[in-house]
Amino acid sequence: MSPTSMNSLLTTLSLLSTFFASPAVAQTWTSCNPLNTTDCPTNPALSTEHTYHFTNSSIGTTWNQTAGSLKYTQDGGAHFTISTRGDAPTIQSEYYLFGGELEVWMRAATGTGVVSSIVLQSEDLDEVDWEILGGNTTHIQSNYFGKGNTTSYDRAIWHPSSFQPQDDFHNYTTRWTKDELE
């Protein structure tokens, strides 16, 4: 399996993988929104390069399993399992990322109504994400939201794919500088 590697980037990283589309709104949350209160705790920053291989559960205190069932294998990394409708297996970083590059190698789940996603989200609910629909083998979606405002879904970009994201591991990379997001 290819590595999941991470350089510093701008917000908390949540890998929300293989969840049903209907409860997707419930995936966006924060434990303390600084837009609503002034007493949010200081969160630690990840300010150097790290590489994580999700081949066993000993990935330290950097990642928390926040929902669902995960199984780790040497050849396929972390397997997120959906057992019933509405399951949303999720892991979340303990750190904030401050500019740089994030590279994730992922094989998307198959199935109509299943969404595999990589979500970058801050405490004030700024969000940038990649989403791969389990029934779509020709396109990959990217999207962003600011301050938790999900009243407009017109920012999605459907990227044509020359590969089937459910068939094998593929590289999804985000580069974030002070001037642009690509």
Distance CA(25)–CA(145), nearest Å, equals 12
Distance (Å, whole) CA 25 – CA 4: 26
Distance, in Å, from the CA atom of 106 to the CA atom of 52, rounded to the nearest integer, reads 13
Catalytic residue among 101, 127, 180, 182: 127
Task: Assign residue 49 a region (left: φ > 0; alpha: ψ between -120 and 50; beta: otherwise).
Answer: beta
Active site residue 94: no
180 as an active site residue: the answer is: no
Which listed residue (49, 94, 101, 131) is catalytic? 131
Distance CA 96, CA 6 (A): 12
Residues catalogued as catalytic: 127, 131
